[in-house]
């Protein structure tokens, strides 16, 4: 799970990156250079903490997420397209976090001369749209050439792809992001290798100053959410020792730090959920797609478990905690055997029976 943090100069991308990763990257401008800073962080999950308190394991492992602070967007590429190295980085991301500046700071002038989050959101959308349109038109040219060369062969697959890319072009020319278009599973599979930017889920992060009132922002697009963070304050709290951070959170009236909030929304946007394996050796959270089967989840743990899959022992996390352990859950009939096609629910605890 890789999330790319994007935004125009002086929007506070690196501040948000530091807040989410507890990092200390310098918050200076890149001067238009494509620069990438990445960090892998634990996904905060109180369920892992409760299960660990029950089993007292030797090892505790949280699910992971990778954030990439991507510099190089200057706000003027909508006329000519983004630089190749920048596009290469963005296409590799599973989703995008668009940091939008809402804070006033006379010593840090906005690159466009004024604070206008609605304008900046529209400008970023235009950046992503034009680059997708360029990619679509190039693909259409290649498909037309393939069709000309295919004199005697079956033209149906090429014509089917042409029809799909004509739909993409029509949407993009109408300024409709591709995530707003309904695709079937086969079409999504065909498009998965292209890394279209407007097809990626996007979380818009409104970067506020301390105590700033939340502006009204409507963003009625599919696979999209809007969240507000007091970026500088969140960064400073994230860099404190945990006990000090809790004291200041209470003082500032923050229920949770931005990391937990953004992770939760990102999981939802990208269609992920967590399941767990538990024991005295390790309590571990695993990430899988929402709707995954027990067979698929076994492969997330280890390919050998998937190859030799026999049955999955499954119990809900709340049932396990209420009953006090696996043996108690088994005695109460809550630990059940499920086959390959069982669809995991968020928070399930699963152990795989397998044979090779």
Q: 39-59 pLDDT, tens per residue?
A: 998 888 899 999 999 999 999
What is the pLDDT at residue 75? 60
Is the backbone of residue 139 left (phi > 0), alpha (psi -120 to 50) or beta?
Answer: alpha
45-55 CB burial, b ≥16 within 10 A, e <16: bebbeebbeeb
Residue 216 has pLDDT above 90, yes or no: no
Name all domains of the chain by residue range, CATH numbers in brackets: 291-354 (3.10.20.30)
pLDDT of residue 333: 92
Going by pLDDT thresholds of 50, 70 and 90, the confidence category of residue 77 is low
pLDDT of 206 above 90: yes
| Beta-strand runs (E) in the chain | 2-6, 35-42, 59-61, 64-71, 95-101, 202-207, 224-229, 272-277, 282-289, 309-316, 336-338, 348-354
Per-residue tokens: 16: 């948000």
Give the pLDDT confidence score for residue 117 in this predicted structure. Answer: 94
pLDDT at 79 over 80: no
Average pLDDT over residues 236-243: 83
| Most confident segment among 61-75, 137-151, 166-180, 231-245 | 166-180
Instruction: Say if residue 122's pLDDT is above 90.
Output: yes
Q: Which residues pair with 59 in a beta bridge?
A: 282
Lowest-pLDDT range, 69-78, 106-115, 187-196? 69-78
Contact 276, 348 (CB under 8 A): yes
- Answer whether residue 110 shows pLDDT above 90: no
Mean pLDDT to the nearest integer, 19-30 = 75
Render pLDDT for 217-235 as a digit per residue (tens, 0 to 9).
989 999 999 999 988 988 9
pLDDT at residue 298, as a whole number:
96
Mean pLDDT of the chain: 89
pLDDT-derived band at 184 (thresholds 50, 70, 90) equals very high
Which has more confidence, 343 or 251? 343
Mean pLDDT, rounded, for 6-30 = 83
Q: What band does 246 get if pLDDT is binned at 50, 70 and 90?
A: confident
Give me the mean pLDDT over the 82-96 stretch: 86
Looking at residue 303, its pLDDT comes to 95
Q: Packing angle between helix 231-238 and helix 13-21, nearest 10 degrees? A: 30
Confidence at residue 32, expressed as pLDDT on a 0 to 100 scale: 58
Res 153: pLDDT: 76
Measured from the Cβ of residue 237, the count of other Cβ atoms closer than 10 Å reads 21
Q: What is the mean pLDDT of residues 272-297?
A: 95
Q: Which residues contact 57 (CB under 8 A, 6 or more apart)?
A: 278, 279, 280, 281, 282, 283
Q: What is the pLDDT of residue 25?
A: 80
Whole-number pLDDT of residue 71? 77
Residue 108: the pLDDT is 84
């Amino acid at each position: 799970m890789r999330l790319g943090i994007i935004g125009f100069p002086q929007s506070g991308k690196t501040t948000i990156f530091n807040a989410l990763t507890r990092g200390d990257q310098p918050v200076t401008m890149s001067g238009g250079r494509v620069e990438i800073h990445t960090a892998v962080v634990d996904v905060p999950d109180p369920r892992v903490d409760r299960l660990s308190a029950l089993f007292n394991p030797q090892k505790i492992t949280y699910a992971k997420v990778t954030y990439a602070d991507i510099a190089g967007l200057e706000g003027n590429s909508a006329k000519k397209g983004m630089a190749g190295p920048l596009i290469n980085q963005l296409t590799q991301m599973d989703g995008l976090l668009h940091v939008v500046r809402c804070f006033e700071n006379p010593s840090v002038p906005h690159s466009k001369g004024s604070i206008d989050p609605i304008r900046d959101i529209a400008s970023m959308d235009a950046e992503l749209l034009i680059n997708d349109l360029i990619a679509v038109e190039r693909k259409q040219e290649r498909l037309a050439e393939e069709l000309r060369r295919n004199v005697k062969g079956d033209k149906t697959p090429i014509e089917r792809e042409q029809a799909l890319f004509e739909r993409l072009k029509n949407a993009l020319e109408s300024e409709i992001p591709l995530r707003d278009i309904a695709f079937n599973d086969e079409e999504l599979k065909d498009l998965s290798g292209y890394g279209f930017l407007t097809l990626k889920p996007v979380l818009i992060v409104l970067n506020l100053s301390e105590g700033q009132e939340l502006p009204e922002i409507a963003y009625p697009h599919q696979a999209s959410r809007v969240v507000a963070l007091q970026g500088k304050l969140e960064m400073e709290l994230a860099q404190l020792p945990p006990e000090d951070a809790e004291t200041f959170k209470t003082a500032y009236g923050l229920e949770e730090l931005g990391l937990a909030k953004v992770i939760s929304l990102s999981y939802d946007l990208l269609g992920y959920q967590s399941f767990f394996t538990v024991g005295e050796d390790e309590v571990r959270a695993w990430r899988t797609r929402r709707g995954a089967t027990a067979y698929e989840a076994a492969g997330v743990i280890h390919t050998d478990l998937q190859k030799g899959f026999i049955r999955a022992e499954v119990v809900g996390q709340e049932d396990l905690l209420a009953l006090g352990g696996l043996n108690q859950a088994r005695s109460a009939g809550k630990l059940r055997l499920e086959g390959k096609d069982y669809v995991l629910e968020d928070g399930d605890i699963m152990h795989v029976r397998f044979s090779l």
